[in-house]
Structure 1
């Protein structure tokens, strides 16, 4: 390692995913890169951690990537935990997670393994960013996102982030020249209208396949959904303190004795 910033790179799509390979490429131009990422896809895992199984971390080298690269059997949050406690030579200056194949805007941040990895780093006091591209395909083209990712990462390294806050960055799936810029946003109010497709396996046993439709309930022009629909990169500062501070005073008026 050198005197360059130490950057931890992780994701939820797995260590071989094109998204993380692109993120590694970009981060290598900024600092010393240390990779700890899942050995298989972990999308939708949220902030799950491994408690009832052995956890493995194997030193690997993929496509002549960084020498300090580990494939982990756990979740994205596990990857950050084991990186900080066991694998890294020191506390990293920055943790970046992604580039996720698909959106993590609006309510999707709750389910996201990508963002949970960034949040885990934030819990440890490490400046952290989750990056996502609005293209779910494995062969997504990340070229247009590179310069913007570098710009955002360098700004975080320069200015830092307040304690308890990480950045959720989503990038529209358009050509570089079509991206209008970067907008600081709030998370749109949204939800999933879900249903289960009930089927039978070859043995005649019922099973269910989750499906659903994303519904944006927010008409504001200051949201991540508006930004993305209008070809802007959205940057939402996310906090992991889930306390509804505005309700505490009213709750104190209840007769709970």
Structure 2
């Protein structure tokens, strides 16, 4: 793609380190318009507002709304001529099929797919115990794998015909430390492992995603070719995905419909 125009959004907020890392990397060879949430909008899924306030920002526009809001207002009102939407880089991985609908980062890319605009969601896997990851990856150099993989995909994916089959790419990358080699890319599928737990303590019930603990312990059963297996082994996971829900002919439902009175 020759000098593409990219809409860059995220869910951590326009002033986050990961957002700046991608903005700087993409600005080196593309026109970038930032349309991102004013503050943290993590894990809001495809929540949509009826109206949002817009502020001018040094990088573009800060939106008082969700990532999906940002995609819609960007493509409809602020920069309708963009060639691609990039969402990220999120601090925290978005891995597994069950996470796709929860993630604000991924949801911004899904929203773009309904506009027939190619999109890439980019997230950083930060190992660590509960809470520790939120205080890690606080320098732009930690996002070098994200920056380089995203640059490569923006530059080559459209011309290679990737988006003739995929609506969007869900990309997860390892953290980069000084002296590390760049992580290689692996094409993956979202893991289907689901391990949510709920434990009651009196009037409160705690919800825990036990997958993260299993990732730290190295006890995941995810096979080769899945996004989580790639990321725990130090590779960039790229999952080509489609946005619309599919519908298939279902004989059992046909029979129920025929007997309904």
The answer to whether the 8 A contact 1:12-1:113 is kept is yes
Q: CA RMSD, aligned part only?
A: 2.4
Q: CA 1:197 to 1:149, structure 2 compared with 1: closer, same or farther past 3 Å? A: farther
Is the contact between residue 90 and residue 105 of structure 2 (CA under 8 Å) also seen in structure 1? yes
CA distance in 2, matches of 1:146, 1:80: 21
Cα deviation code 1:218-257 (max 9, x no counterpart): 5421111111121110100111122253xx2444552312
Instruction: Give the drift of 1:165.
Output: 1.3
Q: Which residue pairs with 2:117 in the alignment?
A: 126
- 2:93 corresponds in structure 1 to 103
Q: 1:213 aligns with which of 206, 210, 215?
A: 210
TM-score by length of 1: 0.83
Shift in Å, 1:154: 1.0
> Does the 8 A contact of 2:169 with 2:239 survive in 1?
yes
2:171 is matched with which residue: 163, 169, 172?
169
User: 2 CA distance for matches of 1:47 and 1:165?
Assistant: 16
- The verdict on how the C-alpha distance between 1:59 and 1:193 changes in structure 2, with shifts beyond 3 A counting, is same
Change (3 A) 1:207 1:74: farther
1-side partners of 2:104 and 2:169: how far apart? 14
Task: Choose from 105, 108, 117 the match for 2:108.
Answer: 117
Structure 1 residue 195 corresponds to structure 2 residue 198:
yes
Q: CA deviation at 1:208?
A: 5.8
Q: How much does 1:125 deviate?
A: 0.6
CA contact (8 A) 1:119 1:240 kept: yes
Structure 2 Cα separation of the partners of residues 224 and 249 of structure 1: 30
CA 1:174–1:27 in 2, change beyond 3 Å: closer, same or farther?
closer
Q: Within 5 A, what are the aligned runs for 1:1-257?
A: 4-51=3-50, 54-61=51-58, 66=59, 69-88=60-79, 90-106=80-96, 107-135=98-126, 136-140=133-137, 141-160=142-161, 161-162=163-164, 165-175=167-177, 177-195=180-198, 210-214=207-211, 218-245=221-248, 248-251=249-252, 253-257=254-258
CA displacement at 1:157 relative to structure 2: 4.0
- 1:196 CA displacement: 5.5
Q: Distance in 1 between matches of 2:57 and 2:183?
A: 38
Question: Unaligned stretches of 5+ in structure 2?
Answer: 127-132
Do the aligned residues in 1 keep the contact of 2:145 with 2:174 (CA within 8 Å)? no
Instruction: Tell me how far 1:84 sits from its aligned partner.
Output: 1.3
CA distance in 1, matches of 2:52, 2:145: 36
**Greater per-residue strand proportion:** 1
Q: Determine the C-alpha separation between the residues in 2 that align with 1:167 and 1:240.
A: 10
Contact 1:18 1:138 in 2 (8 A): no
Q: What TM-score does the superposition give when structure 2 sets the normalisation length?
A: 0.82
Aligned residue pairs: how many? 238
Unaligned runs of 5+ in 1: 200-205
Structure 2: distance between partners of 1:198 and 1:133: 33
Are 2:54 and 2:64, in contact at CA under 8 Å, matched by a contact in 1? yes
Query: Residues 244 and 177 of structure 1: is their aligned pair in 2 closer, same or farther, counting only changes over 3 Å?
Result: farther
